[in-house]
Structure 1
């Protein structure tokens, strides 16, 4: 074979590859467009908030794209220096159109880019996400893109100077956790925070976190002074406060949640204290269930204490999204909060119930202006995330909180890392800001020294629009450290996109070659 013939065959093979890739991408783009439009048509009648219309449509396109396994396409696109579809979230159709247009040019379908028809649909992408985040959370500081939220301890109700220090260190949003303290304490926190903002010369949003139907241990009965549970032990779980058969069951755990234990069947998993203890139902009784411990965090066992959370990953309970306490707390919160957060939301019906309650309390127009935070802490909520977003953002400004404590207990630690990224992707597609929460720099905040894993986790958190720190004796130092981590991480990464700043290692290597 002559040299020229070999070159021609290579060129012909490349043209055929490009042509096949062009046809495949064009078909994908068309399918995503049609399927996305069909899904958006179902949502559109319920969208009363005009600013969510394009975002809702982009979310529909993203879901249409991601219902497919596009991994085989990614390598083929990268081979030709084209986008591998790894960062399409914020403007799906434009990204697909750009790839198809470039392939049309490369394969010879068109002579110049202008020959390819452009779509009439334009999506603002990450600019829209930034706009939504600024409107809901306040403008990000000049030196970093991610805001810092801090859970206020009771000290904030007594010490205004403490709040001034939090603001000066970098707190952008103050969280009042309605699961703790009472309205007298909360109102004092708000009063002190408003004064502290004047002193520090810095604004700060106030976020009221409504407790919701959290299932907790209300009481523990045992003949032992400090009852402990180890692997293989049994305990009785009941909603009957009068049940006290300690001879047969040495440890009885009581939770007053109604309509609960009827849903628990033999082999149903039971999680205590965010995964510190895992067990399974081994026997059903009229008064409750017998649970055998399968795993505990410590070999010597763990203490069983009131107020610890209970999770049931494979069971669904019919519980109102707002308890009687929540309804009372809302009467205070709607007057003082810049943002309202809601816990244990599982489906769009819960969103509608929340919106209905707010409309009854403050009026429809005022209720629609209230920024909401929906906390994702159950597998059921993850599975319904798109419809949760659409139901909430169709009427209210919205952010999503990844509440990793309960979510890890329900989904398992291995699945958690995958879920938190999926939530980030879907929210970016809907232009919805995200709050990254639970155990961020926990050892630092509580003990004054961060673990190595915490540093990596806090860096990962920089992909969100806000990161939450919990209260602790060293929370001031925790804010300072988190601020530094977020500033550093944004130089290297924006969402999923690597920022290719000059590497110091590369500079040093280059200088050595010059010598």
Structure 2
């Protein structure tokens, strides 16, 4: 193959000169910037320099240059993230253009992949045969009561177990971990083990920016018997009469779907004196005749009953049985009301995190509170606010000492309901608060003793990693794996600095938390943003977790949506994929494992440099 310099045209000379100038500019900027980011981890220096070169490259529009490269039959530089300077040098070599030595730490494609693989293995463990992408499953505390499910998850492809410390408590976390290890031991005994230890990653709760409490109300409790499409009952509804119960209430199963009821009985008489088959009749809150049939005697305080038709029950209803004998129902448990809002209405957001939200009255609009009131100080007029993963959109129209008023914008075709503990997002507000909370510091003692890695929630800036390092040093666990969760717009703009700080840790990765991220950047922009995050992490040779709503329909409903199958298949770009819990989680693990295995056999990565939504701040 001839060099372009041999008999090349003036156009070719101009092109070679243009590419050489670009290389010199990128290398100079990277060399100048790297002194701002000293590293104690020597093997990370090539990753730092490559990331800086990649960020410098992203500041230029390469479209015309890539077209010209293609015209010359050369690499279009479409896959250069992992070795920026080396990739350009190879093209310049074909153009017979000399390359100065800038004393930067460079790597080639092979060594970059080896480094990235080494880091992924250290953080996530050894991959399974047939696929390089690991599968992480969010554990539910109820899984501990079903050892066969834990075994099946391991057998079908779970490589990493995730425990979210925003939920439950240390006793339940320990129970989940013990259940996992016991399941591994049973599989090994059956010679069905994977030959590898399932890693455990625990998410710190972080500052939970959510809606606060709302007013509660006691209303008649509906005991709904399942029906077919013709409205006919298809099975009985089972529940309990209990004279030790505090409230009459519905209790959900381990997946939050099937329900049974507990009826509080006021009379303190032995209930096991009722015989199996005995009928207790009553008129429900709608004055309709209904009956419970005794099907099992559990204890002197509790009996199991069956209901054949839907009933509404409330405090004071009487159950009749035997020779004019009666039992009196206790009060249903008070439940949070739904705050109803519509587009065009005002919603008042209070600073006081303990103030109960309520519906609109004649004197005041509907209101809610915020669990982290400090963030409201950062709001300005016209700032957007999203509630419950973007289901409700609003904008700030008034700010006072104790509250801000929001105008509800969406949904515009129907009313929406707000409940407590729903997420609040402020995508255009600069929230300056540390990611590490006092509760996180308390939880760290358990996490460092039991987990292989921890995930830092709501990271906004490199300082958050420094704060975490201080705490880990106190526990002598600076070696534990660290995953920075990218879930806010500010975190995206600070991602390069977060990566550069992370390279100074011995075991570091990134999680693309796509749920909050979609709300922050707009659902229509998520695909571009997640692609750009992947590119930046590849340039830093840092492993990635692709998280949130992966095969969500399949996990929750048992039937995948077509779009989520494509989405899941694309997740092989990351070193790990996270699945959330659901009644069909086993099917989701099995499907994802199959998709990842097949995709990695033939998928060719196509890459384009994106700049519009993820410009990096404070680098140059």
Structure with the higher fraction of residues in strand conformation = 2
What displacement does 1:284 show? 2.0
Answer yes or no: is the 8 Å Cα contact 1:21–1:103 preserved in 2: no
Identify which of 350, 365, 374 aligns with 1:238.
Answer: 350
> Secondary structure in 2 aligned to 1:462?
helix
Identify which of 185, 210, 230 aligns with 1:198.
Answer: 185
**Cα displacement string for residues 492-511 of structure 1 (whole angstroms, at most 9, x for unaligned residues):** 3255479xxxxxxxxxxxxx
- 2:392 — aligned with what? 277
- 1:334 — aligned with what? 448
> Secondary structure in 1 aligned to 2:37?
helix
Identify which of 287, 295, 298 aligns with 2:402.
Answer: 287
User: Aligned runs of 1:288-437 on 2, under 5 Å?
Assistant: 288-296=403-411, 299-360=413-474, 362-363=475-476, 366-367=477-478, 369-437=479-547
Of 397-406 and 280-289, deviating more is 280-289
**Separation (CA, whole Å) in 1 of partners of 2:21 and 2:355:** 65
The answer to whether structure 1 residue 229 and structure 2 residue 341 are counterparts is: yes
What is the number of equivalent residue pairs in this alignment? 472
Identify which of 382, 387, 392 aligns with 1:267.
Answer: 382
Identify which of 565, 570, 576 aligns with 1:455.
Answer: 565
What displacement does 1:286 show? 2.6
Alpha-carbon spacing, 1:295–1:359, altered in 2? closer, same or farther (3 Å): same
Answer yes or no: is the 8 Å Cα contact 1:277–1:295 preserved in 2: yes
Structure with the greater alpha carbon radius of gyration: 2
What displacement does 1:166 show? 0.4
Alpha-carbon spacing, 1:292–1:119, altered in 2? closer, same or farther (3 Å): closer
> Secondary structure in 1 aligned to 2:95?
helix
- 2:61 — aligned with what? 69
**Cα displacement string for residues 477-506 of structure 1 (whole angstroms, at most 9, x for unaligned residues):** 0011111111222123255479xxxxxxxx
**Separation (CA, whole Å) in 2 of partners of 1:147 and 1:244:** 42
- 2:147 — aligned with what? 160
Q: CA RMSD in A?
A: 2.3
**Cα displacement string for residues 268-289 of structure 1 (whole angstroms, at most 9, x for unaligned residues):** 2110011111001112233201
What displacement does 1:466 show? 0.7
Q: Flag structure 2 segments of 5+ consecutive residues without an equivalent.
A: 188-192, 218-335, 609-620
What displacement does 1:399 show? 0.7
- 1:508 — aligned with what? none
**Separation (CA, whole Å) in 1 of partners of 2:148 and 2:521:** 41
Alpha-carbon spacing, 1:320–1:36, altered in 2? closer, same or farther (3 Å): closer
- 1:39 — aligned with what? 33
Identify which of 65, 76, 83 aligns with 1:84.
Answer: 76
Alpha-carbon spacing, 1:398–1:225, altered in 2? closer, same or farther (3 Å): closer
Answer yes or no: is the 8 Å Cα contact 2:347–2:407 preserved in 1: yes
The answer to whether structure 1 residue 189 and structure 2 residue 189 are counterparts is: no
What displacement does 1:152 show? 0.4
What displacement does 1:301 show? 2.3
User: Aligned runs of 1:22-171 on 2, under 5 Å?
Assistant: 22-44=16-38, 47-104=39-96, 122-123=106-107, 124-171=111-158
**Separation (CA, whole Å) in 1 of partners of 2:486 and 2:510:** 7
> Secondary structure in 2 aligned to 1:218?
coil
| TM-score after normalising by structure 1 | 0.87
**Cα displacement string for residues 213-242 of structure 1 (whole angstroms, at most 9, x for unaligned residues):** 120112124899433222222211112235
Answer yes or no: is the 8 Å Cα contact 1:222–1:251 preserved in 2: no
**Separation (CA, whole Å) in 1 of partners of 2:376 and 2:216:** 21
**Cα displacement string for residues 33-86 of structure 1 (whole angstroms, at most 9, x for unaligned residues):** 221111122212xx1122212111111111121111111100000111111111
| TM-score after normalising by structure 2 | 0.73
Answer yes or no: is the 8 Å Cα contact 1:221–1:253 preserved in 2: no
Answer yes or no: is the 8 Å Cα contact 1:271–1:409 preserved in 2: yes
Answer yes or no: is the 8 Å Cα contact 2:355–2:369 preserved in 1: no
Of 316-325 and 371-380, deviating more is 316-325
**Separation (CA, whole Å) in 1 of partners of 2:64 and 2:493:** 25
Alpha-carbon spacing, 1:194–1:494, altered in 2? closer, same or farther (3 Å): farther
Q: Flag structure 1 segments of 5+ consecutive residues without an equivalent.
A: 1-10, 111-115, 499-515
**Separation (CA, whole Å) in 2 of partners of 1:61 and 1:265:** 36
- 1:505 — aligned with what? none
The answer to whether structure 1 residue 207 and structure 2 residue 198 are counterparts is: no
Of 118-127 and 68-77, deviating more is 118-127
